[in-house]
């Protein structure tokens, strides 16, 4: 299950995010989205957890948690619609 994490501090690292979520289960991947031009964090990221139960527990327990003085928001990531070219 892929989770969207919003309202991240621009200083939050993937290592910090990974450590926070790994307390709730196995992580498949952890990515903070970066601006292509500046290389700075865009303030959101994704965590993928292979076990749905663990992902739901992480979502429930971590939504509203403070990380680097920001209250993060955690929800299930929606599938992106294919963009027609």
**pLDDT given for residue 48 in this prediction:** 98
**pLDDT given for residue 79 in this prediction:** 84
- Mean pLDDT, to the nearest integer, of 15-34? 97
* Domain limits for position 10: 2-74
Question: What does the alpha-carbon distance between residue 73 and residue 44 come to, in Å, rounded to a whole number?
Answer: 9
Residue 11 falls inside a structural domain:
yes
Percent of the chain with pLDDT over 70: 95
Residue 37 falls inside a structural domain:
yes
Find, among 23, 2, 34, the residue nearest to 14 by Cα.
34
3-state SS class at 76: strand
Residue 42 falls inside a structural domain:
yes
Residue 82 falls inside a structural domain:
no
Question: What does the alpha-carbon distance between residue 79 and residue 81 come to, in Å, rounded to a whole number?
Answer: 6
Q: What is the pTM of this model?
A: 0.91
**pLDDT given for residue 83 in this prediction:** 58
Structurally, the chain folds into a number of domains equal to 1
Residue 9 falls inside a structural domain:
yes
- Torsional sign, CA 80, 19, 43, 74: positive
| pLDDT tens digits along 49-84 | 999 999 999 999 999 999 999 999 999 999 877 655
Residue 40 CB: number of other CB atoms within 10 A? 10
31: domain CATH number is 3.30.70.330
């Amino acid at each position: 299950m892929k989770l969207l994490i919003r309202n991240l501090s621009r200083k939050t690292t993937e290592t910090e995010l990974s450590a926070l979520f790994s307390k709730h289960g196995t992580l498949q991947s952890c990515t903070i989205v970066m601006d292509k031009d500046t290389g700075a964090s865009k303030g959101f990221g994704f965590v993928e957890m292979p076990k749905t139960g663990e992902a739901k527990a992480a979502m429930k327990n971590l939504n509203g948690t403070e990380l680097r003085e920001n209250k993060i928001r955690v929800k299930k990531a929606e599938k992106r619609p294919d963009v027609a070219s």
